[in-house]
Amino acid sequence: MDLVHKGLEAMQALQAQTARAHEKFLETQAQASQTLAAMMTQTRQFADGIDFLAAPHFMPAREPLPDRSTAPNPPAVGSRNVRPHVPPLCQTSTLCRPK
């Protein structure tokens, strides 16, 4: 009976330790949530103070899109040209080559 009592006490101690760890986790999550909310508020306030239309240097430069009118058409689905050519293993591996 003493062994059962000690086992129950050990389980209660483990449950208490788990509860403390979970409480610490929840506190950390709440703190992280508050920090993120504060950062989002600061970012919103910063962005509200910028006139993006009057400040074009904030816009990233864009490369012109390639002219697709001269690009080759991709092979049709189901055609034999869909799969790329893969050379046999002995042509690409040093394992098959004589030394």
The one-digit pLDDT tens for each residue of the chain (99 residues) are 899 999 999 999 999 999 999 999 999 999 999 999 999 999 998 888 877 666 555 556 677 777 766 666 666 666 555 555 556 665 555 555 555
Task: Give me 42's structure tokens.
Answer: 């600061």
Do 52 and 58 form a contact (C-beta atoms < 8 A)? yes
Place of tokens 């893969």: 86
Please give the residue range of the domain that contains residue 44. 1-49
Q: Torsion angle, CA of 26/27/28/32, rounded to 10 degrees?
A: 100
**10 within a domain of the structure (yes/no):** yes
Question: Is the whole model's pTM more than 0.75, yes or no?
Answer: no
Instruction: Look at the chain and report how many structural domains it folds into.
Output: 1
**38 within a domain of the structure (yes/no):** yes
